[in-house]
Amino acid sequence: MATPIVYSFPNCSEVSVALAKFVAKASAEAIQRHGRFTIALSGGSLPQTLSAVLKDDPSVQWSKWHVFFADERCVPLDHEDSNYLLAKRALFDHVSIPDAQIYTINNSLVKDTAKASDDYQDTLRKVFASKTDVMFPVFDMILLGIGPDGHTCSLFPGHPLLQEQYEWVAPIEDSPKPPPRRITLTLPVLNHCHAAVFVVTGDNKKDIVPMVLEQESNLPSQMVKPTHGKLYWFFDDDASCNLKMKPQQFEL
């Protein structure tokens, strides 16, 4: 299991600078290894934190990116609750990732969560089938957030989905955080990635952070433990201020 690599920065702007360097390097290495960079994005403030600096990096080979969503709300793609729309405004509108390589929820299935989930799983299988025959896809990177309750993606504390062992994508009809209907990558997918990267900012996260990193719990974000990959945490100092551990010096 991966030992967490923990970084903390004075403010969110400096998180963006470091994250941009980190993702650009990971992208270049993945493209050198196998000709593409597969990444799954989460919602919330993460797309803006990611794109603030990265979108202006001329070294990034955007045409080689294949972008998925770690979770998505079952709403139309132009709805304000859509994680895709967040990422479009923050990143996709400013860089040259081919539309065919941005893998969204099927807009025609958003009223049927189970069908939307199955369809998205089929999409993943088509994209990853030629690269791997293992039970689960191996993303180059999955970018994750964390809620004040310790949830990540649309995996919530105490929810039966935390026990899923076989599916790649799962529907959730009863999210405790609105909107209630969503689809999400499952824990086995998160734990098969090359790099799981949590990006956590703001003092509203300072109480949950030590519970995840320094205490025994069954919180979903603590259950992200890549089997063969690495686990990273990027904090600003507001979010990490209650940690007893000393963050590492950031270096590429």
Q: Please report the DSSP string for 20-76 in residue order.
A: HHHHHHHHHHHHHHHS-EEEEE--TTHHHHHHHHHTT-TT--GGGEEEEESEEESS-
Give mean pLDDT, residues 231-240. Answer: 98
Q: Give the Cα separation of 177 and 220 in Å (integer).
A: 15
Output the six-digit token pair for 29: 């290495």
Name the nearest CA neighbour of 138 among 69, 61, 63, 190.
190
Q: Give the Cα separation of 9 and 59 in Å (integer).
A: 24
Q: Does domain 7-134+148-203+225-232 have CATH number 3.40.50.1360?
A: yes
Tens-digit pLDDT profile for residues 54-88: 999 999 999 999 999 999 999 999 999 999 999 99
Give mean pLDDT, residues 121-130. Answer: 89
Name the nearest CA neighbour of 151 among 247, 245, 234, 218.
218
Confidence label for 8 from pLDDT (cuts 50, 70 and 90):
very high
Q: Give the Cα separation of 51 and 69 in Å (integer).
A: 15
pLDDT at 171 over 70: yes
Amino acid 138: pLDDT: 95
Query: Domain ranges in the chain?
Result: 7-134+148-203+225-232
Name the nearest CA neighbour of 81 among 225, 155, 181.
181
